[in-house]
Structure 1
Amino acid sequence: MPAASSSRSAPVVPDAALQLSGLASVALTDSSMVAVADAVGAPERILVAPNSSRPFVAAAIAQRAQVLVVTATGREADDLTTELQQILGDAVVQFPSWETLPHERLSPSADTVGRRLEVLRRLARPDDKDYGPTLQVIVTTVRSLVQPMAPGLGEIEPIGLKVGVEIDFDGLIHRLVELAYTRVDMVGKRGEFAVRGGILDIFSPTADHPVRVEFWGDEVTELRAFSVSDQRSIPDIEIASVIAPPCRELILTQMVRDRAAVLAADNQADAALVEMLDKLSAGIPVEGMEALLPLLQPGELQLLADVLPDGSHVLLCDPERIRTRATDLVRTGQEFLEASWTAASVGGAAPLDTSTVNTDSLGGVSLDLGASAYRSLRQIRESAQALGRPWWTISPLSSGSDEEVELAVESVPEVRGSEELLTGVFAMLRAHVSTGGRAVIAVAGAGTATRIIERLGEAEVPAVHIESGAEPSPDVVSVLCGSLHEGLILPDAKLVVVTESDLTGNRVAATEGRKMPAKRRNQVDPLALVAGDSVVHDQHGIGRFVEMIERTVGGARREYLVIEYAPSKRGQPGDRLFVPMDSLDQLSRYVGGELPSLSKLGGSDWANTKRKARKAVREIAGELVQLYAARQAAPGHAFGPDTPWQREMEDAFGFTETMDQMTAITEVKADMEKPVPMDRVILGDVGYGKTEIAVRAAFKAVQDGKQVAVLVPTTLLAQQHLQTFTARMAAFPVTVRGLSRFTHGADSKAVMAGLADGTVDIVIGTHRLLQTGVTWKDLGLVIVDEEQRFGVEHKEHIKSLRTHVD
């Protein structure tokens, strides 16, 4: 029998897998870490140490006090949370930030809200062990730090269900709606629920799987986890309880609904505002309703630092970057409002304006939507210090201040796949352990650990694999499995830590937290099907949906989807297949671009089609293997690290990068710095910043004296990119030219000559760049925009380029 589990979020790393706890126990004996712990309680500390020391510094503080650790980006927060959870387990949580702006007419996801409210409840009720042990470390981003939130969120009572509990069924449904759960016919994502007779399906924002709750009257009789893909129970998971927190941070209580109704009645001139308020007064959640917090939620909004327990410390990691991010967030929020008003002037939706809101019926109170806007970092610090929260910072760079405390922590040399540098690191490790020191290599998986131990043995370095949580031994290199992203050297503890990322240059992915349960690709939703829709059955092929019916078979009444196939004989009606609802996992939507031919039931045409497809896949796979083998064998150009000009150009970007954008930029540049050809695909919708990634990569290539080709499918897109690249690089000695059907005569010849002699650094063009006669002095990077729109012949030419350039 599997162990019982709650349907709420499991910790990212359970206490049974504290991979880094043994390593941390040694690291925390270092005099630098002891000094950090001894200083706990000091109102201010300015620490200087490499970024790799962050998890150990936070753990040192957590020995004496709770600590809020703030990072500049979400990726840094993810990495740091993973590392700390492998040291302190369930006592570490991450407080996520909204995906939306405070005044945007979009709401944060139910997943994000649920995780935030779970953290706030653990802070408000530390003795409630249903959520885990008392928190020691909360990791968050500057975005969450500077965003105000509704007061009392940690005190909101979630819905709790257990077998044997009696609860008014109708009242439960009403409460779910009040907590902003969406009622649907079939649960498919977090924050949804469905009702069928005495059965309630609910997907809590903090759960790994949705849960089917069966009632006998008002008594809960059974809890079962089920899959969103086929709606069938998952037998290997036993559910002990359901904890369902709100899905929104503005709860539609009766008081909130009454205030919405009053404001709607008093402000009939503003149609957009009235529409939102009318729905809210009826208890219907609407997108972007959180922007109305100051209107509908009485009481002063709170900051995250305000709700921390007494004595908690705030630790800012890289304060200069955090300060820059905070300033950008405040500016972005203001720019969003201004841009919204500009859009409104040409027919877009205007942001809400409280300057015209009539509040007479609410006693004439002053309402200010700006109360929910991002606060400045200075305001946050003043508020935290007024509550007695020590304000600490840790930075990798010294500012020269007399108040700084520089920790005796060193970085390890980066290898980045270089055999010469790897030999040097192995020699350093051999010398270190030979004098009684401890050395650790942290890798992501057991297979990598085995290979590292083999390589160490070849280099005559004594090495041993240690179990998760074990302390490293002296006189030998200890190889352990754990997610640590950067290594460090603690001289006083005689400890050297090297990570897989240090050795390979590849970022080791953080341990995944709660994932959305996998949904079958192109899954069929029977309620969304209409007669005539094409579907694909795993065994029988392409058919046409006819209807959904009920039949009684063997005394049991079941629902079936009726699928029509091609007739077995000419002139006969089509054959029909009855697919029971519990076999929906065998069906998927047809996603081809044209109306398909129907398969024959019992025939061999579907088997032949699949066989041909498998053969084509094998051929494509063979071509890819040859391509990538050639790329791995071919020496690539390892671009140098970012130059001051690179940083200056990137800082001139007029917008705030998204988390995904920064991740892509960082990984692309890291790949460019490796001595093998890069091949990367950047995916994203229009307007999500793909061009800026290309601009930065191109500029980096030019800094190393390489030429860049930007291939686009249309002349219009070529003109747009030419304008963008030219504007972004106008302040630097970079020559950008275009080559398309708009480029004629002498201009075209000049561009071709510039490519040959190297005077043109970046060329942006259509298929003309792939024609014969185009020669390059030193092509180093090819960027293809919308590759799917190029023809087969052009793709073959692009493929040949990929074997030797990035």
Structure 2
Amino acid sequence: MNLSGILPLLAEHPIYNSFLTDVREGQSDRAPLSLYGPARAVLVASLARELGSTIIYMVARSEHARQAYEELQVWLPPASGLATVSLLADPDSLPYERIPWSRETRQARLSALAALARRDRGSGPLVVVASARALMQKTLPPRELKLATRLLRAGQALDLSETLLRWLGLGYRTDAVVEEVGQVSRRGGIVDIWPPNMLWPVRIELFGDEVDSLRLFDPTTQRTIPEARHVHEVMIGPASEALPRLGALALERMADLDLRPMHPPARNELEQQREQLRESTGFKGQEWYIPYLYSQPATLMDYAPDGALLVVDDGAEFMTLVSELEAQAAQTQRDLITGGDLPANPLPPHLTWNELKPLLESRRPILLGHGDLDGRTAPGASPLARHFVPGPRYGGQVKQIVADVEKQHQAGHRTVLVTRQATRLADLLEEAGQIVTVEEDLLDPPAERALRLVKGVLDEGWVLRGLPAGSLHLYSDAELFGWTKPSRRRAQRPRASAPEAFFADVAAGDYVVHMEHGIGRFVGLIKMPMDDGSVREYLQLDYAMGDRLFVPVHQADRLSRYVGAGEQHAPILHRLGAADWERVKKQTRKAVDDIAADLLELYASRETTEGHSFSPDGVWQSELEAAFPYEETGDQLVAIESVKHDMESSRPMDRLICGDVGYGKTEVALRAAFKAVMDGKQVAVLVPTTVLAQQHAQTFSRRLAAFPVTVEMLSRFRTAAQQNEVLKGLLDGSVDVVIGTHRLLSKDVTFKDLGLLVVDEEQRFGVTHKERIKQLRSHVDVLTLTATPIPRTLHMSMTGVRDLSTIETPPEERLPIQTTIAEYDETLIRQAILREIDRGGQVFFVHNRVRGITQIAKRLERIVPEATFGVGHGQMPERELEKVMLAFAEGEFNVLVCTTIIESGLDIPNANTIVINRADKFGLAQLYQLRGRVGRAAVRSYAYLLYDRNQALSPVARDRLVALQEASELGAGFRIAMRDLEIRGAGELLGRKQHGHIAAVGFDLYCRLLAKAVEDLKEGKVAGGRLQVAAEAGEPDGDGKGANGSERGERLAGRADAVGYDDPMAPAV
């Protein structure tokens, strides 16, 4: 959305023009303006447009800085060409912490610094937004950044060996494939590199010692971006603010470090990093050495060019926060030294307030808020602030909105409405005689008496009085409907492909299964010359007795990674040509034929039963969906349409929605529930915990408040009298939607006309409850939601006996969760909690037992006295637990010390750190669900898996923790389920009697055979096919994902046939 057309109106305002003149001439007294908060971003945008210079916009808290950055992109969007807007991200670590920075942080920070360093090239206006933490952090000097940045042009000479060494000295690391910022890869005369100052990685093709071409490519597909196929020049800067090439100088400055307080592991790590500095190579966590790499480390203010304008959101708040962060840094230093993790005399990685204040005051900053840099509050509002006032709050009262718009029109005012309900609002305005066109952008100033309706989202609006012709009324959904703006979504977030990303995850040495030849060991990808002179790639497999098999890449779908016996039991390799494999397959085929018949019998009633056929969507359904305050992802829309199609069919629905935590499954269920209610049916939503029932009840009530739908909850949070009222309502039909725990499955619960059952995390219910759910399945529509499918559920989905929708696309601002495995350490816990509450967030601390949880909370209060705590567990009185959970959701305290009661579905976007005590005592799927309670906002989230330092981890527990740490990519639920299956063995897939068959042939082939048996019983065979690949699989612009090429081949083969071939037993071709 582009609202830049409003900016010229601001320039017409006489008070603003007077203020602008003072700024240009340096005559402003720079007293605090006391400007209305939502109007501050538009003022900064206007200053950038009118002055055409660089602006450094300082916002105290991290979350508010990001909010300001997003708001500025509405007024100065990249496509407008008016100005460039950058965010200098906070460092991921607290001062003195030895924690690596994420690639997103490196990219954001270096992009902002590079943009400032290039100001002398005559670029247009630039606005850099930074928080107090970002400003305090020391960084590389501008001179070093300029020296490290070079222009690369097509046609220029390039000494590749020298250049690669230089890049390593700038912090780049070599990898087989470039998928992340800071990586470089070489394949013959082709070099890929992803500089942090660029949005996309660059592919450099050489012809001898000359750059033949430059192209940008997509790291998720490795393919060239069509519109960037021919790039003439690129600017390649360093990969880190800590330049390894200066390692020798850093070692000189580190000569006086006192290592005596450090315990051996920390000292050994420091020595290893010293050795890497000596060799001028980069490593994780190298930013800790910034104070040693440069004789005079810089800050953001050193990058601000002469004439740059400094704007501070609120001077008093900024001063207070910097002072608090300074004190916390000193405490962190003491804790780390005491804990043996830090030398006794480290150099400070940050500036103090006494160092920062003169730098800020020398720039004579504009103070937008109420306080100055000495902490004093302005006595009153400035003339400009008195003309920016809040808009009225309508709370969805459309008639009042229409009436006020008409009044504003009559008075000659301009009105701009920015809303996600633009189409609906346009219809209502038209009924009242106001004809208005819905616009995507506002590129020109609204005329006098004009009403403009823009489809989009804005934090909050305002009213600007005193324009030459009337006032300007800008209203957002906050004023119109009481909605807050959702987190901004960003394109191009890599996602985990499931199950392909798992099955293709084969490394050299892994056991694999070939459909025709049995279990072997994958060696790698080799190239063989053909008779016609071409080169073809093969996957090499080793079998028993020295046998060796070479599989063409295009037949990679005949292979799968072996999963089945459990990690502690290695499978036996087969011999090529022996009868053993055929015998094993024959036995397994007989077993799957039997179980396929059982499965189909289980689901046969669903196919033959005549259910209720729901009506197509009505007007109210469209209005409900238009009120969703987020952009639906593509997968989410497909899932919604599939559910609606099932409901409109006469066959009872039985669909599984599988999506990672926080991917929008609840919204799918809510729309299905509303559709059912609109047809006069009742809906039951079954959830595993009372806390989740409470949260779902709030979500459904809030979203359905504008419609005549009665939503109730049935759980132990309700008194006996309240439960009886709900039961009566279900029986007489006055309750439309009931949300509850297993209490809903009790015999005394009777519905007047139940039409839809929604089951959240079915695997969490016991055998008796599942039997009751199974009874309901035969005659009502059933929608099951799950984040981590247990093997049984995953298996049923894969074999087609249950309809499946997967939501794999994350909300695109979502970042992977940084997961740390560590011994229980109070210093680490303190740092984790402080890091989160410093940025205005909240923390879950999970303790695995109710006994002792109060003592744990008291101990945490001593460790982190700056934080406030609450305790919640399943044995508390219902009312008390409800009160605690609601207080935490509303931000009344910082840290919730709790049991696994938070495991399923709890959604608190402001909680973005979770500490799990004794994580080794939890199952993998349970850990995954717990970790999923964080990472739901557009900020980096942290998970700490702690274990007892006095007890050795069992191999299985360690495997589980490492598996969770490795599965950090977004959408890893399928991978977690498969990894858990691999660790435990596949015996529980369909009962112990199937364990031997799965172990004998591997999980993937077992599922293929079962799918084939199901299809045969259904008499619905599908002809197979083969894809001929003419090009070499290793071509530079191909689908390559690694040196072994296995994922590349799996994708190519998978396009021919989703199962592989018509008959998995067919002989190899």
Question: Which of 171, 174, 177 lines up with 2:165 in the alignment?
Answer: 174
TM-score (norm 2): 0.52
2:377 pairs with 1:430: no
Question: Helix, strand or coil: the match of 1:46?
Answer: coil
Deviation at 1:529, TM superposition (A): 0.4
2:85 pairs with 1:85: no
Question: Which of 97, 101, 106 lines up with 1:108 in the alignment?
Answer: 101
Amino acid at match of 2:204: V
Alignment check: 8 A CA contact 2:869 2:897 kept: no
Question: Which of 287, 290, 294 lines up with 1:290 in the alignment?
Answer: 287
Identify which range, 191-200 or 456-465, moves more after superposition.
456-465
Amino acid at match of 2:93: T
Q: Where do 1:174-573 residues align within 5 Å?
A: 174-240=165-231, 241-253=233-245, 256-262=246-252, 272=268, 273-298=270-295, 300-344=296-340, 349-351=341-343, 353-354=345-346, 369-370=347-348, 372-376=349-353, 379-386=355-362, 389-395=363-369, 401-402=378-379, 405-406=382-383, 407=385, 408-415=387-394, 418-420=395-397, 422-443=398-419, 448-466=421-439, 467-493=441-467, 494-509=471-486, 512=489, 515-518=492-495, 520=497, 523=501, 529-533=507-511, 545=522, 547-553=524-530, 555-561=533-539
Alignment check: 8 A CA contact 2:154 2:212 kept: yes
The equivalent of 2:992 in structure 1 is none
The equivalent of 2:136 in structure 1 is 146
Consecutive unaligned residues of structure 1, counting only runs of 5 or more, are 1-16, 355-368, 566-572, 635-666, 700-709, 741-747, 770-783, 796-806
Question: Helix, strand or coil: the match of 2:361?
Answer: helix
Distance 1:135 1:729, change over 3 A: closer
Distance 1:580 1:312, change over 3 A: same
Distance 1:92 1:766, change over 3 A: closer
Counterpart-to-counterpart distance in 2, 1:697 and 1:245? 33
- What is the aligned length? 661
Counterpart-to-counterpart distance in 1, 2:22 and 2:405? 32
Question: Helix, strand or coil: the match of 1:185?
Answer: coil
Deviation at 1:98, TM superposition (A): 1.9
The equivalent of 1:66 in structure 2 is 54
Distance 1:555 1:511, change over 3 A: farther
Alignment check: 8 A CA contact 1:113 1:247 kept: yes
Distance 1:30 1:292, change over 3 A: same
Deviation at 1:228, TM superposition (A): 3.0
Deviation at 1:720, TM superposition (A): 6.4
Question: Helix, strand or coil: the match of 1:620?
Answer: strand
Alignment check: 8 A CA contact 1:722 1:737 kept: no
Identity of aligned residues (%): 22
Counterpart-to-counterpart distance in 2, 1:165 and 1:761? 63
Question: Which of 56, 60, 70 lines up with 2:42 in the alignment?
Answer: 56
Counterpart-to-counterpart distance in 1, 2:297 and 2:842? 45
Distance 1:453 1:182, change over 3 A: same
Counterpart-to-counterpart distance in 1, 2:378 and 2:30? 13
Counterpart-to-counterpart distance in 2, 1:690 and 1:600? 57
Distance 1:562 1:424, change over 3 A: farther
Deviation at 1:198, TM superposition (A): 1.8
Deviation at 1:277, TM superposition (A): 2.7
Alignment check: 8 A CA contact 1:71 1:140 kept: yes
Alignment check: 8 A CA contact 2:117 2:146 kept: yes
Counterpart-to-counterpart distance in 2, 1:618 and 1:214? 52
2:655 pairs with 1:619: yes
Counterpart-to-counterpart distance in 1, 2:259 and 2:887? 57
Counterpart-to-counterpart distance in 2, 1:441 and 1:266? 63
Amino acid at match of 2:136: V
Alignment check: 8 A CA contact 1:36 1:60 kept: no
Deviation at 1:671, TM superposition (A): 7.3
Deviations 1:670-710 (A, max 9, x none): 979957689999996586669999xx9999xxxxxxxxxx9
Counterpart-to-counterpart distance in 1, 2:212 and 2:399? 64
Deviation at 1:591, TM superposition (A): 8.6
Deviation at 1:264, TM superposition (A): 6.9
Distance 1:44 1:21, change over 3 A: same
Question: Which of 715, 721, 724 lines up with 2:850 in the alignment?
Answer: 715
Counterpart-to-counterpart distance in 1, 2:88 and 2:419? 27
Distance 1:55 1:761, change over 3 A: closer
Counterpart-to-counterpart distance in 2, 1:268 and 1:761? 46
Distance 1:534 1:480, change over 3 A: farther
2:14 pairs with 1:36: no
Deviation at 1:245, TM superposition (A): 0.8
Distance 1:726 1:162, change over 3 A: closer
Deviations 1:74-133 (A, max 9, x none): 33333323333343444333222322234222343454344434433443442426xxx3
Counterpart-to-counterpart distance in 1, 2:497 and 2:851? 38
Q: Where do 1:745-760 residues align within 5 Å?
A: 751=877
Distance 1:449 1:323, change over 3 A: same
Deviation at 1:135, TM superposition (A): 2.9
Counterpart-to-counterpart distance in 2, 1:31 and 1:457? 35
Counterpart-to-counterpart distance in 1, 2:653 and 2:225? 33
The equivalent of 1:20 in structure 2 is 3
The equivalent of 1:657 in structure 2 is none
Consecutive unaligned residues of structure 2, counting only runs of 5 or more, are 77-81, 261-266, 572-580, 604-638, 647-651, 659-664, 678-694, 706-710, 714-738, 740-759, 761-786, 788-813, 821-828, 889-895, 903-913, 930-1069
Amino acid at match of 1:413: P
Question: Helix, strand or coil: the match of 2:101?
Answer: coil
Deviation at 1:172, TM superposition (A): 0.8
Amino acid at match of 1:71: V
Amino acid at match of 2:35: A
Alignment check: 8 A CA contact 1:536 1:590 kept: no
Question: Helix, strand or coil: the match of 2:437?
Answer: strand
Alignment check: 8 A CA contact 1:68 1:315 kept: yes
Deviations 1:267-286 (A, max 9, x none): 79775554433321211223
Deviations 1:706-728 (A, max 9, x none): xxxx9997435855677589999
Distance 1:55 1:196, change over 3 A: same
Alignment check: 8 A CA contact 1:181 1:192 kept: yes
Alignment check: 8 A CA contact 1:85 1:92 kept: yes
